[in-house]
Amino acid sequence: MQRKIFLQEPVKHIKINGKLTVDQLIQQFKNSGSFGAGKLSDACDIYEHMIRDEGCTVFLALAGAVVPAGMRSLVADLIRERLVDVVVSTGANMVHDAIEALGGHHYKGHWFVDDYMLYKNHIYRIYDVFVPEEDFTKLDYKLAEMYDEIANENNGKSLSSNEFAWELGKRLNDSNSILRAAYEAKAPIFLPAVRDSEFGFIHWLHASRKNCQNPLVVDAFKDVPEIVNICKRSPKNGMIVIGGGVPRNTVQSAALASKKGMDYAIIITMDRPETGGLSGSTLEETISWGKVKGKAGKIMVIGDAMIIFPIIVASVLERLGEDFKRIPYLKR
């Protein structure tokens, strides 16, 4: 191998002259091409390719408490603008989406606080975000009533987590809600670990009610053919992973089961690979399973998704321009 192939492109130094748009800053990062700046600019390029690739279905895997932290409207807008086609989320993120849809709030707090004092005041802490317990209580009450209604309408028939999420979205009257946006756009939204969230506790409340004959049945196994078929029918597939965990594995496993492998992959995480946990596993490791193609456009960005993901979206929206319209492949 010739020595000169290692020394082809010099690092260009970042220049900040006057006003810069988000994408102009990303282009400066691209000039550097180094460290986190280089990875972030690669992620913007890959997302742009996913969007412009007419045969690509875009999956968004959501883990970590990004909805309580303020990413709710961003995700809802991406669904409405058809810049994300399928969402796979933790139950918890959608619980927090529903809390706000029902009039509750998340509050700016601090990580350095007397947590026992919060406990005595019925306030929950998610790092530096506070949630009053009564917002959960109101959610429990209202959703338990919705569960009754959904169960009565379905009369013992089981729902996939996607059907369940749409049933909730149908009943949430809030344009900023992710569940509502997914329902209106008929964008699939899977909650594979739905039980492991307040949704599970609400089910207990609903099912333990006197005279509850036919409790709501959500069958997460029903999700499997639904999501695998989406991968199968789509000529190409791309994923954006925020965090990792069950949502990441659900998307990747669909790519594996459909024998397709992801064509594009962006992972935003702060986890490390050494523990063997999925949230930190490298994209190379994912290739070994056939979940991501060896030649896929792929990047793992190490950083706080609350910072990284909005920057990626802002940069790509700027590139696409206001008149850009996308029709998802599976909606044509």
Q: Which residues are known to be catalytic?
A: 291
In angstroms, what is the minimal distance from the CB of 215 to another protein? Answer: 13
User: Binding another protein by CB under 8 A: which of 37, 126, 205, 224?
Assistant: 205
Interaction between residue 52 and another protein (CB under 8 A): no
Taking CB under 8 A as the binding criterion, the range among 36-44, 63-71, 83-91, 134-142 that sits at the site for another protein is 134-142
User: Binding another protein by CB under 8 A: which of 21, 24, 34, 137?
Assistant: 137
Q: What is the CA radius of gyration of the chain?
A: 21
Q: Which is nearer to another protein, 20 or 113 (CB)?
A: 113
Interaction between residue 183 and another protein (CB under 8 A): no
Task: Report the distance separating Cα 325 and Cα 316, nearest Å.
Answer: 13
Q: Which is nearer to another protein, 206 or 291 (CB)?
A: 206
Cα-flanking dihedrals φ and ψ of residue 61, to 5°? -100, 125
Specify the length of the chain in residues.
332
Which of positions 61-120 make contact with another protein (CB under 8 A)?
119-120
User: Binding another protein by CB under 8 A: which of 25, 71, 144, 239?
Assistant: 144
Q: Which amino acid is at 150?
A: I
Taking CB under 8 A as the binding criterion, the range among 67-75, 102-110, 138-146, 313-321 that sits at the site for another protein is 138-146
Task: Report the distance separating Cα 205 and Cα 108, nearest Å.
Answer: 30
Task: Report the distance separating Cα 105 and Cα 133, nearest Å.
Answer: 11
User: Binding another protein by CB under 8 A: which of 141, 221, 289, 324?
Assistant: 141
Give the three-class secondary structure for 292: strand
Residues in contact with 34: Cβ distance below 8 Å, sequence separation at least 6, in sequence order: 11
Task: Report the distance separating Cα 94 and Cα 89, nearest Å.
Answer: 7
112 within 8 A of 120, measured Cβ to Cβ: no
Query: Where on the chain is the footprint of another protein (CB under 8 A)?
Result: 119-122, 132-134, 136-138, 140-141, 144, 205, 208-211
